[in-house]
Structure 1
Amino acid sequence: SDGITNGRVTVEYNDLCLPVLSGLIFVVDSNDRERVNEAREELMRMLAEDELRDAVLLVFANKQDLPNAMNAAEITDKLGLHSLRHRNWYIQSTCATSGDGLYEGLDWLANQLKNKK
């Protein structure tokens, strides 16, 4: 199947049908101020996809361990999350190398998906 590569993450799409997806996890490099606008454009492009129309959104603000990292409030602003009026979203500060914040974010996502059924 064809994959769409975005940075190091490859998303594989089914060739025949695209199911409606329930949840989306979007990981942002909190230390990369130069590319945060690019991240915003990519996020908005993804959220415009028909199969993501009802998906809840979990944003991981990663690399919070770095001294110049943008905090969750700054990333919320830069990604324009407050403009997503009809979508359930949550932003979680994370550090993937230590695991900080990962369980909290996934716990929120699991609860959202459970409540959607």
Structure 2
Amino acid sequence: MGQGQTKSPQVILMGLDNSGKTTFLARLLTGQVMDTSPTIGFNVGSFNVDKRTSLTIWDIGGQKNMIPNWRYYLDDSKALVFMVDSSDPSRMREAQKALRKVLSDERLRGVPLMVLANKADQPNAMTIQEISKQLGMSNYPHLQWQIQACSALQGVGLRQAFLSVAKLIKKR
């Protein structure tokens, strides 16, 4: 990189398998819904939030055997985006444990968190308040966090979420 160029801030996108991370990233980068398969390792892409702000988003696989490897992706992250499937209450406890584990890492101290409640378009989707309670967000008073509903499939709430992430990063 030449002088004067800045690297776009790194945003980590994590969550349990089947929460919609890869669909979300593909929709954000291409505007299209694509067939995805479970992510082994990671996907990465850069996204222009507005004319002046670009973010590099790392979509990390969320299968059980991948979760212990999440810690390898935390260096230099400027924001954590944690995605949950808001239509699957049976996995909220597991999501809460995974989130607690990743937030306990020293490298995330002071890093803002955006919780994305994906699949909000489903008839059985939980509310933001229910998700906040299920994830135990009140246990993180020191953390700068927000929860937003979205639908990767419908393309709803994606841009707004990342505008908020960019604002959280600037505030930091």
Q: Same fold (TM over 0.5)?
A: yes
Distance 2:104 2:130 in 1: 23
Distance 1:115 1:98 in 2: 30
Structure 2: give runs of 5+ residues left out of the alignment. Answer: 1-14, 18-37, 43-59, 61-69
Higher CA-based Rg? 2
Question: Percent identity between the aligned chains?
Answer: 36
Match of 2:87 in 1: 31
Match of 1:102 in 2: 158
Q: In the alignment, is the contact (CA less than 8 A) between 1:23 and 1:109 conserved in 2?
A: yes
- Figure out how many residues of one structure are paired with residues of the other and give that number: 109
Distance 1:111 1:42 in 2: 25
The 5 A counterparts of 1:60-99 are 60-99=116-155
Distance 1:45 1:95 in 2: 26
Could you tell me the TM-score, scaled by structure 1's length?
Answer: 0.84
Q: What SS does structure 1 have at the residue aligned with 2:113? A: strand
Distance 2:168 2:16 in 1: 26
Match of 1:22 in 2: 78
Return closer, same or farther for 1:6/1:37 CA change in 2, 3 Å cut-off: closer
Distance 2:144 2:16 in 1: 24
Structure 1: give runs of 5+ residues left out of the alignment. Answer: none
Could you tell me the TM-score, scaled by structure 2's length?
Answer: 0.58
C-alpha displacement at 1:21, in angstroms?
Answer: 2.4
Q: 1:59-89 deviations in whole A, cap 9, x for unaligned?
A: 0001011111111111011001122100000
C-alpha displacement at 1:6, in angstroms?
Answer: 5.1
